[in-house]
């Protein structure tokens, strides 16, 4: 991505609308690779990788509630992947989303929920099929509204993707969990952060019917945001991990041997030029 360096300062994209343009020229590649690449809004004005085995596209414009303005063309790029990932097997295309938990602080963000109605108009209130497990959201700074905020962001992400491309319902979603975005602090705040991410997972799993929802982060940042270890009943337990930090492909291959912070390590990333590379762990 590298989201650690490039996903910040994107507030100017908060009002972005879906801009479907021609697919930029692909960067030259000598041969088809068994590794992949991930791209998002920073690549909108340049070329895209070529010859990738799989592509992972960022839905947002750097913040959890903004849109990547070239989402459609980047999804077209991802779907052009060879599908020859190795040694692990991954689909041609996958998605990643920014995450955050701003909380009900002053000034309260405009999209902080005040009830259990999501952007599609459906209710996640008590007694509904996908009821908020933390109770009724009333606009407070609590787990119920944090869960609803995560659910709402995921619903919006899915609507953006549906408008941009036709993808299988089983397309994987990866949650980008980094300290660069806004998170709550303190014991109650960390619990709210966990609820927020659980809400996103619930929406992608139950509404989007995603076969895979995973976490992109590092063990350090994950601990700072969630206060790991997770509660025994948390829906985040067991999710596959996508771990960055390597500088070379061989380093990314070694990263596969690390212990995951929520579940097994499925993908590793190395910071490349001009594009980050991704390796499918065995």
> Quick one: tokens of 282?
């065995």
Share of the chain above pLDDT 90, in %: 86
Q: Mean pLDDT in the chain?
A: 90
Asked if 275 contacts 37 with a C-beta cutoff of 8 angstroms, the reply is yes
If residue 98 lies in a helix (H) or strand (E), which one and from where to where?
Answer: strand 93-98
Q: Which residue has the higher pLDDT, 198 or 11?
A: 198
- What pLDDT is stored for residue 31 in this prediction? 59
Judged against a pLDDT cut of 70, whether residue 28 lies above it is answered with no
Distance CA 206, CA 170 (A): 11
The tens digit of pLDDT for each residue in 204-259 reads 999 999 999 999 999 999 999 999 899 999 999 999 999 999 999 999 999 999 99
124-139: average pLDDT: 97
Q: In whole angstroms, give the CA distance from residue 255 to residue 24.
A: 32
Helix-, strand-, coil-residue percentages of the chain, each rounded to 5: 30, 15, 55
Read off the tokens for 196.
């927020």
Distances (CA, A) of 282 to 103, 214, 218: 38, 16, 20
**Angstrom distance (rounded) from CA 198 to CA 186:** 18
């Amino acid at each position: 991505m590298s989201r650690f360096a490039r996903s910040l300062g994107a507030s100017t994209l908060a009002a972005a609308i879906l801009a479907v343009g021609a697919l930029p020229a692909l960067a030259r590649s000598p041969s088809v690779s068994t590794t992949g690449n991930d791209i998002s809004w920073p690549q909108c004005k340049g070329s895209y990788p070529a010859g990738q085995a799989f592509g992972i596209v960022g839905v947002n414009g750097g913040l959890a509630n903004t849109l990547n303005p070239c989402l459609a063309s980047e999804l077209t790029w991802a779907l052009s992947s060879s599908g020859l990932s190795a040694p692990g097997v991954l689909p041609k295309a996958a998605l990643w989303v920014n995450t955050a938990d701003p909380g009900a602080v002053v000034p309260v963000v405009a999209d902080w929920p005040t009830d259990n109605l999501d952007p599609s108009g459906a209710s996640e209130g008590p007694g509904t099929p996908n009821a908020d497990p933390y109770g009724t959201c009333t606009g407070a700074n609590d787990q119920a509204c944090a869960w609803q905020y995560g659910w709402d962001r995921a619903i919006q992400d899915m609507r953006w993707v549906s408008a941009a491309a036709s993808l299988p319902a089983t397309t994987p979603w990866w949650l980008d969990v980094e300290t660069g975005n806004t998170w709550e602090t303190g014991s109650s705040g960390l619990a709210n952060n966990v609820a927020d991410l659980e809400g996103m997972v619930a929406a992608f799993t139950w509404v989007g019917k995603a076969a895979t929802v995973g976490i992109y982060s590092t063990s350090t940042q994950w601990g700072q945001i969630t206060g790991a270890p997770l509660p025994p009943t948390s829906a985040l337990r067991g999710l596959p991990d996508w771990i960055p930090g390597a500088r070379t492909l061989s380093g990314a291959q070694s990263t596969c041997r690390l212990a995951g912070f929520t579940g097994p390590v499925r993908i590793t990333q190395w910071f490349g030029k001009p594009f980050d590379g991704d390796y499918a762990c065995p």
